[in-house]
Structure 1
Amino acid sequence: MVQLKMPSSVADAWPENAWISRAERPVQTATSGPLAGLRFAAKDNIDAAGFATTAACPAFAYEPARHASVVQRLLDAGAALLGKTNLDQFACGLNGTRSPYGAVPNAIDPAYVSGGSSSGSAYVVATGEADFALGTDTAGSGRVPAGLNNIVGIKPSKGLISARGVVPAAQSVDCVSIFARTVDVAARVLAVAQGHDAEDPYARRLAMATTPLPAAFRFGVPAPLAFCGDALAEQAFAEAVERLRALGGTPVAIDYAPLAGAAALLYESALVAERYAAVRGFVDAHDDQIVEPVRSILLAGKGYSAADLVDAQTRLRAFGQQAAAMWDGIDVLLVPTAPTHYTVAQMQADPVALNRNLGAYTNFVNLLDYAAISVPSSLRPDGLPFGITLIGPAGSDWQLADLGQRYHHATGLTLGATGLPLPPPVPIAALQPAATVDVVVVGAHLSGLPLNSQLTERGAVLLRADETAPDYRLFALPGTVPPKPGLLRVAPGRGARIAVEVWRMPATAYGSFVALIPPPLGIGTLSLADGSQAQGFVCEPLALEGAQDISHFGGWRAFLRDRATA
């Protein structure tokens, strides 16, 4: 069924170096299901029966007796498996050049690296050869290749997708990741792939958030940020901040030091011993079959004691405690997926330092038990893709997918390297819309006026400017601070249309908002010009005796402008 190519040198590699093995015919076990009609590829550290699992090391190859749990779930859902993709050997790297099967090129510009370790999986999705692909992510391998190839990469919460049948890299922090050209497809795959598996020692049952992030949300921006001298990446990130702001976000500077401290532990402490432990039987017997610098990284794990590991784990917990405070002030964290691009030649000339740079904003995520999604953000003036990553606490996967899809569709980008347009967005099925209340405001709560913050602080968003039905009179209430109007319903034919704004507020915040309204004002049901009704500001009739009727101005703003110029 499978033609497995085992090149003896890079010169013998497949021309595109993205595939290690392909099926003569796609493997399919079901013709119906939620993923019917979709073709996928699996990174070659994930078992698929009938394919050798090599982890990009021919001497390590073995024939699995059954599919990995995640592969079986996808096949049962109607997806068809095309084959196995290339990777940085033993999933150790973020650049895509550490494989005896050759360096996987960037799908947009082949002179540049694809990112790794899930390099082949990202490439076949970006070029349209597969509809989606499985990768793995320990330190960013499900995100960096997505960002460098103009595609989506979901890095789920740890334990959400079973890792049974996956060659471990660092088993306590490994995740199976998903690449697709749209968030919709990636989220559909995640919905099928997730599920507790007692055969995975690190599987867990998570409480997943099932409502979207607030319409007015706060996003963290690390300070300081570094882009390895890449001014185009820095500018692209500044544009990303503004785009997220336009979607309702407010940027909040966060201290990156504890996140960076956690990230450094992955390779610069005894935590690297877990890399060695994952494949130590093979490493001890066949270290001469491992490419550099993977060999040196794995062997470095042999030099630590158990006490060293306990110390590193304690330091990691300390960084986690420090980082946890940031979630009190933000709903989501925004980072560049990768701070820059490197050519294949640059990476091969300085493979350790440049690889470390690519993981500057990814290495901490699994260590601190966060979920993440990388989405395309822009094409730089030099034509290279720039991606951003949205990060949230464990269990926020669907919220991140929802915001990620909104962001991706706001970019106007095409799909991967195909040049095809983005299809319309699709609601994230696992999310239930949060309950909301529409509130009609007429005076000091209008946008830009003194009491508008009482709305925005509660996550309310402006839906539209509107008018009431022609059955209302507007009065300037004397002695109010700040100045306020009173709206009164009158008999048909005796009123006017009054300018208003309609705001949408989370239902959970509505009670605290109403509690702020002083008499003689209150909330009642208003009729709008189109015949619809909504909750809005009204006034007790007795309070209007002697008040100035300002209905002829048509609204509170017009009255204030007239008073200012009088």
Structure 2
Amino acid sequence: MQPMTLGTLHEWQRHYQNDPDSVRATLTALLDGLPKHDTAWIYLPGAEGLAPQLAELARRLADLGGDPLSLPLYGIPFAVKDNIDVAGWPTSAACPDFVYQAERDAEVVARLRACGAIVIGKTNLDQFATGLVGTRSPYGAVPNSFNPAYVSGGSSSGSASVVARALVPFALGTDTAGSGRVPAGFNNIVGLKPTKGWLSTSGVVPACRLQDCVSIFALTVDDAQRIAHLAGGYDKNDAYSRGNPHTAPAAMPAAPRFAVPQRLEFFGDRHSEQAFRQALRQLEASGATLESIDFAPFAQLAEQLYCAAWVAERTVGIGDRLQTNPDSLDPVVRAIVANGFNFSACDAWRAEYLRAELAQTINRALAGYHALVVPTSPTIRTLEEMKQEPVRYNSQFGTYTNFVNLADLCALALPSFLRDDGLPAGITLIAPAWHDHALADFGRRWQQALGLTLGATGRPLPPPDAGLPAAPAHQVRVAVVGAHLSGMPLNFQLTDRNGVLVEKTQTARQYRLYALANTQPPKPGLVKTDDGGFIEVELWDIPLARFGEFVAEIPAPLGIGTLTLADGRHVKGFICEPEALRNAKDITAYGGWRNYMAAIPK
């Protein structure tokens, strides 16, 4: 299998499983086959430049006993936006006057390389990550992967482009105002904008350091989430890194409740509006409930990023270049960043107070919803149009993105129905911080339901991996058997703690179920025996930090132990003290608490 026929992580992994010694030949062929004069790339090392990484990979593999399966990303190539450091390579932030040789990998790059991945090149961007267009670079504008007359979106234009064309299975970008989402929407790929602080920004050239995120582009939600898990985690060297509190849900229910802006703005673009309306109909058809909410506070916060003192943070990031060599900057970028000098320290504090107030209002508005659904961008423009109105059209692209980091939200840009003119028009799900897993859970279902082709490749979406998923990280999977079942009186103790129903199944055939005496509400007791039956249970995932609260509410004679399921899995679940069975009724023959309760005369 040639590199250009490989797309997803699974395809790359299968390739190396069949031929584990082909890493050098495969990656050399990949580099040799890349299009010439491709503005998506700023730096490509060539085959010789890959040698240090390949030598390092060989050492890692030897230390692990020579088994490629011990490295989850063994030999898999990826691209890195050129404001993220790769050791020994130049970092330009799309400004030739700024270029320096990176002494060490950015933390996210180091973590991915430790998993066996290989950086294949550095990608183009709107200079200093200032823009959502993909045209503000002295290295050339990056065209849209579907129609080169249109913009690719920015600032992570190159990273999105190379993923859309399956030149690499994933790429790193950054996202401050939408740079990890708008290019995904314009190129029919997945753009994961994680919770701030989950992925370290050590070794990233800052745009707005308080708001910057490293983002991930991939062809599938599965791949984006997998890379986030491998690249993410607390970094003591990043002052803005933070640990996951383990309180958020890991999934969404089958019928989620979504908020949608009451007034949708498409700036006259009927193609984008039609595509988004079609997406809303699909959401409703899949079982989601859609409710309109006031978008005014979201829009007000979005305006702050460039029209208030927050722009001064970009001025700080560029340093004294505005005074010493202003001509080295893209004219539009220079004009935007120079506005930072117009604000005082007092203005900055006022801007922060307003940000906090609006963020609180926004998070209150989203309470009770599983996510906010918006168009990734309300419109798209041609390269020629951007030349005429570079600031106004850029601002339009950020209508549904600029507020996200300021409000401490996470977001997932998803491919959606193509516009009538054949251009992509994605949707984005936005949720509170640390709800990344829940967004990915729904995004995975959304991709499978639509069955769209991958990026700009025309290749079909591969089927989902077979088998039942294990409990996600930072979640506890619990089997409930009685009053905590869906629709039962104590089910709220799960849902109030962001518990999510995973599946309905049965215990192994070695349990007996009893109706306990004198319990309110009525409860069963489950006991392991040598002579039992299959008992119906529901499996729920509870955030790790909420599990203790849940257990604390369980009264005697019940407790939590480890249950064996019919398929041999082991999960936490309800058990009962044998003493309580003296006056209890054996109801094993009913096969579960729900059947028993239904049989009781009302």
CA distance in 1, matches of 2:219, 2:380: 20
Q: Deviations over 1:86-129 (max 9, x none)?
A: 00000000010000111101111111100000000000000011
Secondary structure of 1:296's counterpart equals helix
CA distance in 2, matches of 1:436, 1:354: 52
Q: List gaps (5 residues or longer) in structure 2.
A: 1-34, 62-67, 505-535, 543-549, 554-584
1:308 to 323, 347, 350: 347
Secondary structure of 1:253's counterpart equals strand
Residue in 2 that maps onto 1:19: 41
Question: Does the 8 A contact of 2:503 with 2:540 survive in 1?
Answer: no
1:191 correspondence with 2:213: no
Residue in 2 that maps onto 1:202: 240
Residue in 2 that maps onto 1:257: 296
- Structure possessing the higher radius of gyration over alpha carbons: 1
1:157 correspondence with 2:219: no
* Identity of matched residues, %: 48
What's the offset of the Cα at 1:324? 1.9
What's the offset of the Cα at 1:380? 1.9
- Length-normalised TM-score, structure 1: 0.77
Change (3 A) 1:402 1:282: same
For 1:12-411, list aligned pairs within 5 A. Answer: 15-25=37-47, 26=50, 27-28=53-54, 29-30=56-57, 31=61, 32=68, 33-208=71-246, 209=248, 211-411=250-450
Residue in 1 that maps onto 2:525: none
Question: Does the 8 A contact of 1:125 with 1:181 survive in 2?
Answer: yes
CA distance in 2, matches of 1:218, 1:524: 40
Change (3 A) 1:409 1:430: farther
Secondary structure of 2:214's counterpart equals strand
- Length-normalised TM-score, structure 2: 0.72
2:459 to 386, 395, 420: 420
What's the offset of the Cα at 1:435? 4.8
Secondary structure of 2:374's counterpart equals strand
Change (3 A) 1:39 1:57: same
CA distance in 1, matches of 2:354, 2:132: 24
Q: Deviations over 1:301-334 (max 9, x none)?
A: 1111100111111111111121121132312111
Question: Does the 8 A contact of 1:526 with 1:535 survive in 2?
Answer: no
Change (3 A) 1:390 1:422: same
Question: Does the 8 A contact of 2:501 with 2:541 survive in 1?
Answer: no
Q: Which amino acid aligns with 2:117?
A: A
Q: Which amino acid aligns with 1:173?
A: Q
Question: Does the 8 A contact of 2:131 with 2:394 survive in 1?
Answer: yes
What's the offset of the Cα at 1:210? 5.1
Q: Deviations over 1:122-177 (max 9, x none)?
A: 00000011110000000000000001100001111101111111000000000000
Secondary structure of 1:317's counterpart equals helix
CA distance in 2, matches of 1:204, 1:539: 48
CA distance in 2, matches of 1:185, 1:403: 14
What's the offset of the Cα at 1:284? 2.3
Q: Which amino acid aligns with 1:430?
A: A
Change (3 A) 1:105 1:172: same
What's the offset of the Cα at 1:537? 6.2
Q: Deviations over 1:214-270 (max 9, x none)?
A: 333211101111111112211211222222233432112111111111100000001
Secondary structure of 1:283's counterpart equals helix
Secondary structure of 1:535's counterpart equals helix
Across the aligned residues of Structure 1 and Structure 2, the Cα RMSD in angstroms comes to 3.4
Question: Does the 8 A contact of 1:265 with 1:312 survive in 2?
Answer: yes
Residue in 2 that maps onto 1:430: 473
CA distance in 1, matches of 2:136, 2:111: 30
Secondary structure of 1:244's counterpart equals helix
Question: Does the 8 A contact of 1:287 with 1:295 survive in 2?
Answer: yes
Q: Deviations over 1:185-206 (max 9, x none)?
A: 1111101111111221211112
Change (3 A) 1:503 1:262: farther
What's the offset of the Cα at 1:430? 3.4
Secondary structure of 1:536's counterpart equals helix
Question: Does the 8 A contact of 1:434 with 1:506 survive in 2?
Answer: yes
Q: List gaps (5 residues or longer) in structure 1.
A: 1-12, 440-444, 446-453, 465-501, 512-522, 545-566
Q: Deviations over 1:456-506 (max 9, x none)?
A: x99999999xxxxxxxxxxxxxxxxxxxxxxxxxxxxxxxxxxxxx99796
Question: Does the 8 A contact of 1:41 with 1:132 survive in 2?
Answer: yes
Change (3 A) 1:188 1:505: closer
Secondary structure of 1:377's counterpart equals coil
Question: Does the 8 A contact of 2:475 with 2:541 survive in 1?
Answer: no
Change (3 A) 1:82 1:505: closer
1:535 correspondence with 2:594: yes
Question: Does the 8 A contact of 1:160 with 1:205 survive in 2?
Answer: yes
- After TM superposition, the structure 1 stretch with the greater mean CA deviation from structure 2, 129-138 or 211-220, is 211-220
Change (3 A) 1:425 1:59: same
CA distance in 2, matches of 1:15, 1:525: 73
Question: Does the 8 A contact of 2:500 with 2:541 survive in 1?
Answer: no
CA distance in 2, matches of 1:431, 1:247: 28
Q: Which protein has the bigger helix share?
A: 2
CA distance in 1, matches of 2:473, 2:322: 42
CA distance in 2, matches of 1:507, 1:210: 8
CA distance in 1, matches of 2:86, 2:358: 38
CA distance in 1, matches of 2:295, 2:257: 16
Change (3 A) 1:69 1:240: same
CA distance in 2, matches of 1:144, 1:19: 19
Change (3 A) 1:430 1:402: farther
What's the offset of the Cα at 1:412? 1.2
Q: Deviations over 1:512-553 (max 9, x none)?
A: xxxxxxxxxxx996989xxx7672365677x69xxxxxxxxx
Question: Does the 8 A contact of 1:107 with 1:126 survive in 2?
Answer: yes
Question: Does the 8 A contact of 1:524 with 1:536 survive in 2?
Answer: no
